[in-house]
Amino acid sequence: MINFEFSKEERKIVVEIIKTGLQREYEKMLTDVERIMEDWKTKKNGAEETYAILYRTVKANDQRLERVNGNKKGSTYILILLQLLSDGVLTEDDLNLLPRGTVDRIIELRRLLAEGV
Share of the chain above pLDDT 90, in %: 65
pLDDT tens, residue by residue, 23-78: 999 999 999 999 999 999 998 888 999 999 999 999 988 887 887 776 667 778 99
* 72 vs 53: CA distance, rounded Å: 29
Provide the pLDDT confidence category of residue 113 given band limits of 50, 70 and 90.
Answer: confident
- pTM for the whole structure: 0.82
- In the chain, where the domains are located: 8-115
CA–CA distance, 72 with 63 (Å, rounded to integer): 14
Instruction: Report the chain's mean pLDDT, rounded to a whole number.
Output: 89
